[in-house]
Amino acid sequence: MANTDTVEIKIGDKTFLLPAFAGTYDEKAADISKLLAETGFVTYDIGYKNTATTRSTITFIDGDVGTLEHRGYPIEQLADQASYLEVMHLLLHETLPTQAQLEAFKEALNAHAGLPAGIYTLLDALPDEIHPMGMLSVVMNALSGYHPEAEDSWANPEVRWDAIYRLLANMPAITAAIYRRSQKLPYVAYDPSLDYVSNFLNMMFGKIDKVAAEALDTLLILHADHEQNCSTSTVRMVGSSHVNLYASIAAGCNALWGPLHGGANQEVLEMLEAIRLDGGDTEKYIAKAKDKADPFRLMGFGHRVYKNYDPRARVIKKYVDKVLDELHIEDPLVEIAKGLESAALSDSYFVDRKLFPNVDFYSGIIYRALGIPVNLFTVMFAFGRLPGWISQWKELREHNEPINRPRQIYMGEATRDYTPIAQRES
Ligand code: SDX
């Protein structure tokens, strides 16, 4: 579709022409920026299922085919051949790095590494009952206090990049500190002589396992970005008010926490464990998932965009057997997960609704095999997604997009006069 194309809207006996344009893969958009001014109509799209909120060059998803690309590179190739740091560079700097650029990127991260001591004191002061995602959100907001210059991260590119490197450099330490706090273990210091993922493992467990490092590097790549999902849209929404980067990321953490979004990886493991304890009867849980009277959903299944197998789930499923074999772990949940998948994908309820495994269905099995507790799974999702959130926030800034302020259709009471309390009926 050429940019000169238009779409016609007929309202009554009037015809309105709206500009239209197409994306790289010929996705078509009607530009409704002037719809209200020209027609008096707004559009209504609950959950934004049909609404594009931006033009982006970062990530492309084809939900029908089940493909995912970051700046043109298929996720399967990035997962199999790239390192997480290369993907970070790709998302942030728009190109895969040369060796020299990668070294410079690593140096920039190392130069920004180091959490203020107050962050650890803050974690210690939080109630034991708080969920690790709540801890993460607190830490992100607190960092804006240790780096007040970040208030200028919208206006000042130097301050912006400082905040970007500081967040990426310290996410391993933040994630590990949250784990150590939740397990009531002493904190382990950052070791600048270690690479990014090995440092994380060392700060988590006080030791480094090569198999775990390789598996984690791939899992972080698979979670790095996913266009305008709920938490990324939240980062953009909050960022559009020109608040600092830390506060925008904190908002993304809170959105990701939800069980329908990033919280699903924890829900999947708890679901699989419940099925195991209930005798492993997958048919019973497939029936529950289909029963409209039953609130149970097959967690890790279904997706707003993918109406085919989530390509990330396909890669993760491939790694499950490899990692468990290399770690010599037998996990009964693997067979339960595979049994659920097989039963669902041959059941018309799931097939008709195009419900396939998503990124969360198998990821928790690997996290658990690496010794990561279930309540930290969503923090691990945030860890992987951080460069994606930041890249999307950076794109919003560079496009100088306006404050996000959707409209509504009011369905409440029409104008009426105030009634003094003495005259109100009980
Ligand atoms: C992530 O957007 C992203 O990109 C997110 C993400 C990312 O990387 O950022 O990919 C990460 O959030 C993955 C999704 C993790 N969430 C889950 O696994 C939770 C379980 N899945 C669902 O709740 C659901 O599938 C959603 C929330 C993921 C998508 O919901 P939609 O698109 O709003 O679809 P819907 O709820 O309208 O469901 C359509 C139909 C309904 O049945 P009918 O009313 O048509 O009869 O499918 C049914 C739903 O009841 N359905 C399910 C189901 N998911 C949808 N039925 C049983 N089990 C499920 N998991």
The answer to whether the CB of 94 falls within 8 A of the CB of 57 is yes
| Rounded distance between C-alpha atoms, residue 255 and residue 261, angstroms | 8
Instruction: Work out the mean pLDDT of the chain and round it to a whole number.
Output: 96
**Least confident range of 74-78, 270-274, 422-426:** 422-426
**pLDDT tens-digit profile of 60-107?**
999 999 999 999 999 999 999 999 999 999 999 999 999 999 999 999
Measured from the Cα of 304, ligand 1's closest atom is: 32
Nearest residue (CA) to ligand 1, atom 33: 304
**pLDDT tens-digit profile of 327-343?**
999 999 999 999 999 99
Residues, the chain = 426
| Rounded distance between C-alpha atoms, residue 50 and residue 40, angstroms | 20
**pLDDT tens-digit profile of 213-225?**
999 999 999 999 9
Nearest residue (CA) to ligand 1, atom 55: 302
Nearest residue (CA) to ligand 1, atom 11: 261
- Three-state secondary-structure class, residue 70: strand
From the CB of 351, is ligand 1 less than 6 Å away? no
Give distance in angstroms: CA of 370 to centre of ligand 1. 27
From the CB of 289, is ligand 1 less than 6 Å away? yes
Nearest residue (CA) to ligand 1, atom 23: 260
Measured from the Cα of 227, ligand 1's closest atom is: 4
> Shortest CA distance to 88 belongs to which of 190, 223, 270?
223
From the CB of 355, is ligand 1 less than 6 Å away? yes
| Rounded distance between C-alpha atoms, residue 302 and residue 189, angstroms | 40
Using the predicted structure, report yes or no on whether residue 2 has a pLDDT greater than 70: no
Look-up of token digits 């069980």: 259
| Rounded distance between C-alpha atoms, residue 372 and residue 299, angstroms | 19
| Rounded distance between C-alpha atoms, residue 408 and residue 336, angstroms | 44
> Shortest CA distance to 398 belongs to which of 236, 234, 165?
236
Tokens of residue 170, six digits: 């310290």
**pLDDT tens-digit profile of 137-167?**
999 999 999 999 999 999 999 999 999 999 9
From the CB of 360, is ligand 1 less than 6 Å away? yes
Angle, helices 377-398 vs 157-182, to 10°: value is: 170
Give distance in angstroms: CA of 127 to centre of ligand 1. 32
> Shortest CA distance to 225 belongs to which of 62, 58, 379?
58
Give distance in angstroms: CA of 67 to centre of ligand 1. 18
* Cα 415 to Cα 63, 407, 422, 426, distances in angstroms: 45, 20, 21, 21
Give distance in angstroms: CA of 360 to centre of ligand 1. 12
| Rounded distance between C-alpha atoms, residue 144 and residue 238, angstroms | 15
From the CB of 242, is ligand 1 less than 6 Å away? no
Residues β-bridged to residue 22 = 28
| Rounded distance between C-alpha atoms, residue 379 and residue 135, angstroms | 9
How does residue 426 score in pLDDT terms, banded at 50, 70 and 90?
confident
Using the predicted structure, report yes or no on whether residue 1 has a pLDDT greater than 60: no
Using the predicted structure, report yes or no on whether residue 36 has a pLDDT greater than 70: yes
The kind and range of the H/E element at 104 are helix 99-112
Instruction: Note the pLDDT of residue 129.
Output: 97
With residues binned 3-state (H G I as helix, E B as strand, rest as coil), the percentages for the chain, rounded to 5, are 55, 5, 40
Measured from the Cα of 303, ligand 1's closest atom is: 28
Residue 368 CB partners (closer than 8 Å, separation 6+): 269, 331, 333, 374
**Residues classed as catalytic:** 303, 360
Give distance in angstroms: CA of 72 to centre of ligand 1. 26
